[in-house]
Structure formats: structure tokens, C-alpha cells
Amino acid sequence: AAADAENPAQSARCKPGSRRRAYQPSAELWTELTGLVGSSEAEDGSGGGAERCPAEVSLEEALVRLAEFLSVQLGAEESFGTPSDLSKPGDVPPLLTVTGQLLALLAWIRSPRGRQALSQGTQPVSGVQHPPPAGSPLQEESPSLSPRGEAQGQQPPQLEEDQRAWQRLEQLILGQLEELKQQLEHQEEELGQLRLGVGATDSEKRVQHLTLENKALKQSLSLTRDLLLHWGPAPHTRAPQEEAEALLELRRRLQEAQDTTEALRVQLGVQEVQLQGLQGALRQLQQETEQNCRRELQQMRGQLAGLHARMASLRQGCGDLRGLVSTFTQSCQGSLSEAQGQVSWALGALSADGAGSQLAEARQGPLPGCSGRLLELKGNIRVLCRLRPGTPSSLVSLEPGPGGTVTTCYRGHQRRFRLDWVFPPHASQEEVFRELESAVLSCLGGYSVCIFTYGQTGTGKTYSMEGPPEDPGIAPRALQSLFQEMGTGGQHRVTLSMVEIYNEAVRDLLAPGPPQRLAVRQGPAGQGGIQVAGLTHWDVPNLESLHQMLSLGRSNRATAATAMNQRSSRSHALVTLTLRTASPSRGPGTAGTLHLVDLAGSERAWKAGTAGTSQEDRDGAQRLREARTINRSLLALGGVMAALRARRPHVPFRDSQLTRLLQPALGPGATVVLLLQISTRPEDLGETVCSLKFAERVGRVELGPARPRRAPRSGTPSSLSTDTPLSGTPCTPTPSPGSPPSPGLDSGSSSALAPPEDLPS
Ligand SMILES: Nc1ncnc2c1ncn2[C@@H]1O[C@H](COP(=O)(O)OP(=O)(O)OP(=O)(O)O)[C@@H](O)[C@H]1O
């Protein structure tokens, strides 16, 4: 139709006077059509062109048919006078569809595929060869074709408008496709994120399924877009209504996918919350389990440590038990051998020829009231106990007499001590001495007897040992008894020495002048014993002289006033009386020894008031020092007793001067009597219990059966102790009463506790 305006030949073929001029096609379409028509006319003019180029003929025919169709359409619109309303989206005029097909055809011709197809002589399948669908407006309106002239007049603006509408529709569809694509990509991205955040659960499987669906949908959309792009006429094949429905279907599917995604997202959120809760519970459970395990581990460790400690304790207890068993076995063996020795000694003494003389010698000293014969055979240290008069206390009760007991109640513990003899507080000096007299008189038979008083300060040790002049104690009575027993026959020679141990210094109490400190040393090898250099020995001719000497020594003894005793003995006093057979008619004779020891009292510094808290600091310090040395020496005595009781091979006699000087008196075969002085005062109960314990331990010491000692020959030790050497220095005559003794010893000469043997009789 456009060609008609410039080419009359061409227009002649069309119906003249048509209204096609009223339509102004777009420049692009017009150019295309002009090109096509021109080429067709040139080919027609040459005649037989269709045979040379069948593709151009087909295109021309298509264009002619299209032009005719457009003319018919335009004519029909004019005849009916019902122009289509393009403003309504649902009411698309058929012309637009045809125009779309034309454009698609042109686009296809321009495309490489079209050119290739044209060059190969093929045509597009759709849009050109296919007839319009039955019942379509195209078919319905085809019979009423309008003249070409009318179509030419209305087609260009209509086409342009249709083209724009088509372009809008195309852009709309492409925009929607792009939007769909973006949504799908967004969905895919979200699904990818969800897949990363979710484990291998059912939700993930659903997400994966949805992903596959989306992929399929995407491919479907991609195919649709390709169809739209590559097969432009496709939109013309479907009605706008179908397009709209398809679009709605796509939107609906998209909405469903979005809803599904949202639901999955919500479900995923719930599961994440549940997962977090489960993880928190798991962590808490792990912490609780860990704490429980640690607690149980600590308990197990504690139990293990307790078991270890118990095992160690049991091991130690087992070791102690073994030691006890061993000690007990040794003790049993020792006791057995001791008993065997005693029995054999007794049998030997009874049966042997010399037994008669020994027994005669033993009988020289009367042994009245010899109690505890078995004990004497066994050789235990006898322990007597005397209670100081005072207010009776319910905390101390006693059963007096032989084998008596003292029961104390100290700190809620009641304890009972059994002793060889218990003297009640009202016991007299006479009663006490009566129990000791036999032992004292045994000295005349050559026995070594040691009587010492022990106890707390102020309990009556000095009172019992010496006593006041009107009621003399053990020492005066013993001397009197001895002299009475000896009579005036002059069979014995009696010598006396007296020392004190003050602050671990040995001092001669019978030396002229102030007491001098004497040196104590070990005797020569083979002779044993100890030696006290410069010790004075006095020959005692009669009882009166003996009393004078005792008074002199007592006056020289160190005493001081303490809080516990106005005249407290601050030293240990040792009186040694030696009774040697002066001129034995038969044999060597005997040499008995009597040791009378008045120990200083054990005391507690604060209680004795000797702690130096008074203004007289010097005196206080002096008392304190005295108390310390006294307690130390008493401790050493306890150690010696413990060693003797345990029959240890080493007895620590050298631990103190007291035990060194007592070593001969505590030797085998000696008779030892401990007179324990105790107080019944409640405030003294602690010391009383300690003293009783000490006495109980001492009572278990066995020194062996008492044995008389023969008088040593010249150059042999004296009777005081078989280990005591002779000094060879004669004693001076007995000093007159009231005058200081003058022993007349050679200076530098050595003398022991025992007197020299070769004294003039
Ligand atoms: N049986 C008793 N009868 C009468 N008085 C006693 C008796 N025993 C002790 N006494 C008196 O108790 C006081 C202290 O006695 P004594 O000096 O003998 O004690 P002690 O044990 O020797 O003291 P220390 O160890 O301090 O020398 C003295 O005054 C003494 O007269």
C-alpha cells in the first residue's frame, strides 16, 4: 500500500481510490515494506523472477496477503464504524496481533536464522504459514475486507500504535520476567543461606526440593523468555487473556514459592531456637557432669589419702607391736634367766660349804621383820610412800600398810598406785624407821643399802630423813640403831662422809671451812667406780660424835626460803656411812655401806615462787637456777631408773652429778629403798600424781638379789663400792663437838666416797 503512493504501477495492482493513505505506517516498517516491494517488482518486471528466487516470491506473497488482510480489516472497521478501543488492555484489536506477526516476521527475516532460512528456502513455522485460529477476529472479519485505499489511509498510525502497544507489552512481559528472575535469584540466594545454616534435617531436604523446583521454574521461565525473544510472534499466538492467566499462574506459583520459603524460614527459625535451647541444655549438662566428676574425684582422692594415712598408721602400729613383742620376749627371757640365777644362787648358798659363813655373816646383822623375802630375792627397789600431814582431800585416798595403795582423782581420771608400804599422814617417825631398820642393819653384814627420799618440795623429805631433834628421822635413828647393834665390841670401824650437790657442784659438807667444790672423775681402769678428789672421811668412834658430824654437815647444807618451804633444801645431800669389819677373825670380813640421800624437792618454778618476779631479782634468779638444776638432776635419776628397769646395756649414770655419785649405790646386789613423800593438797595433785608415777616405775627396777660384799684386801676397793679405790690417807681423829672438823688430809690427795681401808683401828 505504501508503494502505491510513489509507484503507480504497483498502485494499479491495488484497488484505486482506497483509503490506505489515511494510515501512516512507522518509518521503520515502511522502509522495510518498501524494500521488500521494490525488490518484488523488480523481480516481477523481469518476468520469471519467482522461478529464479523463490524465497523472494514467498516473502512478497506474504506481504501481499498481509496487505490484503490489513485492507480487509480496515475496511471492515470502517464499514462497521466500530473502531477498537486500545485503551482497554483486554480488548486488543486483531490488527495489533497481525501487526505483531508482521513484526515478528520481519524480525525473523532480519535475524541470522531468518536470513539463513531464506537463503535455504525455508520459512518460519509460526506466524506466517499457520492460519489464524478458528473463530479469531481475523477469520471472522476476513470476508469483509475493506478497499486497500482505505487501509493505506489508516494502517500506518495504527501500526505504530500497535507497535508501541506491543513494545509496551513486550517490555511489560520482559520486565515481569526480569522481576521473576530477580525474585528467583533472591529466593535461590536465601535458600542457599538457609542451606548453609541448617544441618541435614527434613527442612533442608524440603529446601533442596524447593531449590530444585525453583530451578525447574527458572528453566521454564528461561525457555519462555527465549521463546519470546526468538519467536516474537509467540505472544500473538496466545491471547492476552491467556498471557494474563499465564502471568497470574506464574505469580501464583511465585507466591506459593515465597509462602513456602517464608514458612520454611519460620520453621527454620523455630528449629534454630529449639537447637539453641538444646545446645544450652547440652552445655549445662556437660558442666554439671564435669562438676560432679570433679567432686567425686576429689572425694576419691580424699578417701585415698585417708586410706594411705591409715595404712601408714597401721604399718607404724604394726612396727610398734613388733617392738613390743620383741621387748616383751627379751624381758621374759631376762626375767627367766634372772629367776634361774636367783634360784641357783639360793641353792648354792644353802648347799655350798661357804654358805654357812655367808649365812653366818648375814645373820650377824639381825633382820627383824624381814618382810617381802621374795622381793628381796628378786632384788626390786622397795618403794615406801608417806603422806604429809595436812587437810584431807577427797582427791587422794589411800589404803595404808604393806602393799598399800594410793588412789588419785586428777582431771577426771582416777588412778590407783600400789606401793610396798603406805604410811598415812599420822604415821610417826618411829613407824617409818621400823620398816627400814632391817635394811639399815644389813649394812653390818656387808650389804650396800641406799635409802633416799623423793618428792615434791615441802612434802617432808628432810623431815623424814633427819627430823627435828625431839623427833629424829631416819638418819639419826639408823645411826643409833647401828651403834646399838654394834655395841661396844669394836668389831666394826665406822667412817662418815657427807656431800651435797648444789647446782651440779659436789661440795664437801664436812670439810673445815666453807664447803669446797670437789671434782668427780671416773676411777682407774680395772677398778671402776668414781673418785671424789679431796673428800673428807671421818672416823666415827661413837654415836655422839656421829650426831655432831651430822649437825655440822646439815648446817653447811644450802637452804633457802621459798614460797613452798621456809627452809627448803636447795641441794641433794648424801650421807655415806661405811661399816667395815675391823678385825675379822675369819676371812676378809665385810664392808657394808649405808647411803642416806635427801633429795632436793622437785618443784615448779612459778609455784615455788622462784621465778624471779619479786624485787629481789638476784635471789629470784638464784632460786630459779637452783630449781632448774634440781629438776634436771631428778630427770637424770628418772632416766637411770628407766634404763635399769628396761635392763638396757647402757645406763646414763653420767648425765648428772647425782647419778654419778649414786652409781655405786644402784649397782647389782644393792638394796635400795625409796621413800616417796607426797602431799594431799588439791593444788599439789599434779605433782603428787607425777611423783607416784615415778615411784611406780622405780618399784619395777630389779637390781638383783642383795649380796653382801667382802672387805677388800689391801690395795683393793673399799666396801662402799667394790669399784671405789682406796685413798691410802688415814682419817684424823674425831673432831670435838662444837669445833670444826679437821680431817688432816694431804692436800691434793684423792679420796672417794668410801673411806680409806687401812685406817688404824
Ligand atoms: N610428817 C610430818 N609431820 C609434821 N611436820 C611435817 C611432816 N612432814 C613435813 N613436815 C613439815 O613440813 C615442812 C616442810 O618439810 P621439809 O622441809 O622436810 O620438806 P622437804 O620435802 O624437805 O622440802 P624441800 O624439798 O624444799 O627441802 C617442815 O616444816 C616440816 O616440819
Averaging pLDDT over each range in 154-163, 173-182, 399-408, 551-560, which range is the top one? 399-408
Beta bridge partners of 576: 497, 595
Lowest mean pLDDT segment, chosen from 148-162, 189-203, 204-218: 148-162
Domain spans, the chain: 2-180, 191-337, 352-751
Please name the residue whose Cα sits nearest to atom 9 of ligand 1.
Answer: 460
pLDDT of residue 378: 58
- Is the ipTM of this structure higher than 0.90? yes
Q: Is the CB of 462 under 6 A from ligand 1?
A: yes
pLDDT of residue 199: 52
Residues 6+ away with beta carbon under 8 Å from 629: 503, 504
CA of 435 to the centre of ligand 1 (A): 20
Q: Is the CB of 458 under 6 A from ligand 1?
A: yes
Beta bridge partners of 502: 505
Residue with more model confidence, 185 or 653: 653
Please name the residue whose Cα sits nearest to atom 12 of ligand 1.
Answer: 460
- Tens digit of each residue's pLDDT (9 = 90 or more) over 239-282: 778 888 888 999 899 999 999 899 999 999 999 999 999 999 99
Alpha helices in 352-509 (DSSP H): 354-364, 373-378, 429-434, 437-441, 461-465, 474-486
Q: Is the CB of 467 under 6 A from ligand 1?
A: no
pLDDT of residue 97: 60
Please name the residue whose Cα sits nearest to atom 10 of ligand 1.
Answer: 460
Task: Report the pLDDT averaged over residues 113-140.
Answer: 48
**The C-alpha cell of 517 is what?**
667444790
Q: Is the CB of 601 under 6 A from ligand 1?
A: yes
Beta bridge partners of 396: 408
pLDDT of residue 320: 74
- Tens digit of each residue's pLDDT (9 = 90 or more) over 282-331: 999 999 999 999 999 999 999 999 999 989 888 888 887 887 776 667 65
Long-range contacts of 85-94 (CB under 8 A, 24+ apart): 86/161, 86/162, 86/165, 89/240, 90/240, 90/241, 90/244, 92/165, 92/240, 93/137, 93/162, 94/136, 94/137, 94/138, 94/141
Residue with more model confidence, 221 or 462: 462
Choose among 653, 563, 654: nearest CA to 605.
Answer: 563
Chain position carrying cell 476476513 = 142
Task: Report the pLDDT averaged over residues 368-377.
Answer: 45
Judged on CB neighbours under 10 Å (0-12, 13-18, 19+), 269 is exposed
CA of 456 to the centre of ligand 1 (A): 10
- Tens digit of each residue's pLDDT (9 = 90 or more) over 43-86: 444 444 434 444 444 665 665 666 666 666 655 655 555 454 54
Task: Report the pLDDT averaged over residues 707-730.
Answer: 42
Lowest mean pLDDT segment, chosen from 153-157, 349-353, 495-499: 153-157
Q: Is the CB of 388 under 6 A from ligand 1?
A: yes
Domain made up of 352-751: CATH architecture: 3-Layer(aba) Sandwich (3.40)
Long-range contacts of 433-437 (CB under 8 A, 24+ apart): 433/473, 433/474, 433/477, 433/478, 433/481, 434/369, 435/369, 435/384, 436/384, 436/474, 436/478, 436/673, 436/675, 437/368, 437/369, 437/477, 437/478, 437/481
For the CA of 427, the nearest atom of ligand 1? 1
Q: Is the CB of 429 under 6 A from ligand 1?
A: no
Residue 335 one-letter amino acid = S
Euclidean distance between CA atoms 407 and 398, whole angstroms = 6
Lowest mean pLDDT segment, chosen from 88-102, 127-141, 538-552: 127-141
For the CA of 453, the nearest atom of ligand 1? 21
Q: Is the CB of 477 under 6 A from ligand 1?
A: no
CA of 681 to the centre of ligand 1 (A): 14
Q: Is the CB of 453 under 6 A from ligand 1?
A: no
